[in-house]
A and B are shown apart, each in its own frame.
Chain A
Amino acid sequence: MTVKVWAFSEAPSSANEAAAAARGIAESAGGTFTVVGVDDGLGLAGDDKLILRSAAKLATSPEAAAEALARAVKEGGPDIVLVGATRNGKEIASRLAVKTGMHCVSDVFGLALTDGKLHGRRNVFAGKLLAEVVAPVPCVAIIKVGSYSALQPSAAPGTTRDVGEVSTKTRVVEQVEKKRGTVDLKGAKLIVSAGRGVKKKEDLALVNDLAAELGGAVGCSRPLSSDMGWLPEEHHIGLTGISVHPDLYLAVGISGQLQHVAGIKDSKVIASINSDKSAPIFEASDYGVVGDLYAVVPAVMKELKARRH
């Protein structure tokens, strides 16, 4: 069979990650891939593009985007629809599976088509286990964020398809952009992250200074953002926060619960500073320092400064 793979996201960068996965499947199994976007369709990769349009903006309404995509899928007949795992993307893919009766797998990577079935892997139990998933075709697969390197946008104009009117049951009354830090955590090469070992909000200065010295971004474990509110939620790294893949992840005063480690697994090097020798973070680290962060962080700062001169 000649497999027909679609890569979709309402966000172009995420669509282009899915496109990398789609290209891999199409090339190895023998088939074609189409990159599907919405609205103006700018920034998409691939030679074959399909841009879905409606009177309403589709990018900001997952309900409308799912209906638009379902109409296009029923007409275009792809065997596999790959959807980027943004928060809205998960909704779109899940709705699509219900609308079309396609099987649906979530947060997958390492995809391949074998014996007419889509095979992939995914983390389960907060990353403690790796599951092999097998979905009969046709299917929808939600692609784990950051598991494929996005294809570069192309100049191909693509085909635009007006999907007609799509109604929605909810109405967006206000949209507030979150305040962005100076460095984007998802793309950061170096991240210094703070955890419960930091005793007072003011003491975050230690972590901020260390991140500044290293030219890195500041992250945190869940308690600091969700429970203490010391940092905005977008700094929260872990299962329910952001997954990161820096060259160096430096965990300061983080115990290393599974949910946190789930978000840092793809880091090249993990280092940690914690006063508790039995903290699970040391099991997840390449280099660990057992010691009081209030003494170790200044000492590390001094070493780094000395190294610079």
Chain B
Amino acid sequence: MKVAVCVKHAVDEAELKVDSSGSPLLAGAASKMSTFDKNAVEEALRLKSAHSGEVSIITVGTVEAKKSMKEALAMGADRGVLVVADPLTVETRRTAELLAAAIRKGGPYDAVLCSEGSSDIYSGSVPPMLGELLGLPYFGYARKVEVNGQTARVERALEDSVEVVEAPVPFIASVVSEINEPRYPTLIQIMQAGKKPMEELAPDAILPGSGPAPTLVASMKAQTMARKKVVFEGTPEESARKLVEALAAEGVLPR
């Protein structure tokens, strides 16, 4: 099985700092593979070990994104493709178009996996856009993926129900984080990852004549949580009494 995984290299939301005016300090900020993408990589590796084959990692990102690529290669993926563009400033649809073009160029793949959304922006639009752009069967929010011969069988986790859905291979799926537990690469795997093939593609080369991509994000500012932050530290009994009194005064306890 030939599997492609779309991953995103993202600024680490937990480490992100803002300046005194509340503007994010994105340049030089700590970055990582988008949290949930590891589940997509893991699922691809499981498909590979069940059916043999190859796993390709495809990223739209700046050269910084090679870090995430290497991490996925260390987990066990075989090759990487980097489309050089900044997904933070490019409209979501363009990111999807670039990924689709890279998938067409490197394919055909039997499966394309994504996570349900990126840990930085979390729009969740790229995976269904890929399904639409590539004209392949698409399963959103997969919590289980099985391939039997030429049929994919997927459990989709929806708000109020779980759907079992089938389609012929090739297919595209976005996976939810409860689908698996991502593996940690060994030190040897981390060292070997640098030797695996990594290709860089220019957007113009795979999507000729597409022109500059619009950005729809006008600005980003820190939001402060307007919370009272009253802390009670005492014996459990004292604190419990103060907490219940405070909540009663707020009028949020049942009468």
Contacts and interface: CB of A to CB of B under 8 A. Distances in A.
Contacts of B122: 107, 124, 126, 239
B13 A125 contact: yes
A303 B230 contact: no
A75 interface: no
Interface string A102-121: 01111100000000000100
B11 A190 contact: no
A132 B244 contact: no
Contact of B163 (A63, A124, A175): A175
Contact of A286 (B18, B136, B165, B227): B227
A104 B229 contact: no
A190 B252 contact: yes
Contacts of B247: 248, 269, 271, 287
Interface stretch (A38-46, A48-56, A165-173): A165-173
A173 B140 contact: no
A104 B214 CA distance: 11
B42 interface: no
Main secondary structure of the interface of A (DSSP, over half): mixed
Contacts of B124: 90, 94, 106
Contact of A287 (B132, B166, B237, B246): B246
Interface residues of B, number: 81
A95 B131 contact: yes
B201 interface: no
A287 B221 CA distance: 26
B30 interface: no
A240 B128 CA distance: 17
Interface stretch (B51-59, B68-76, B152-160, B190-198): B152-160
A150 interface: no
A95 B243 contact: no
A171 B240 contact: no
B223 A128 contact: yes
Nearest to A135: B216
Contact of B230 (A66, A215, A240, A286): A286
Contacts of B36: 240
Residue picked from A225, A233, A289, most chain B C-beta under 10 Å: A289
B50 interface: no
A98 interface: yes
Interface stretch (B1-9, B89-97, B203-211): B89-97
A119 B132 CA distance: 26
A287 B228 contact: yes
A248 B164 contact: no
Nearest to B181: A227
Given A286-B230, A288-B231, A132 B218 contact: yes
Contact of B120 (A94, A124, A170): A124
B186 interface: no
Given A94-B128, A104-B92, A128 B239 contact: no
Contact of B177 (A97, A103, A173, A226): A226
B225 A284 contact: yes
Contacts of A273: 243
- 10 cross-chain pairs, A with B, having the tightest CB-CB distances, nearest first: A299-B240, A106-B123, A169-B137, A295-B236, A248-B252, A174-B164, A91-B128, A125-B13, A94-B128, A94-B125
Interface of A: 60, 62-63, 66, 86-88, 90-91, 93-95, 97-99, 103-107, 119, 123-136, 142, 169-178, 180, 190, 214-215, 222, 225-227, 233-234, 239-240, 247-248, 257-259, 261, 265, 268-271, 273, 277, 282-292, 295-296, 298-300, 302-304, 307
23 contacts: A88-B140, A125-B121, A128-B13, A128-B16, A130-B223, A169-B138, A170-B139, A175-B164, A178-B160, A215-B254, A239-B119, A240-B116, A240-B176, A271-B247, A277-B233, A285-B228, A287-B228, A288-B231, A290-B231, A290-B233, A299-B236, A299-B237, A300-B244
Given A93-B125, A285-B228, A296-B239, 12 more contacts: A63-B131, A98-B93, A104-B93, A124-B122, A129-B220, A131-B220, A142-B123, A173-B165, A176-B161, A271-B243, A289-B239, A300-B244
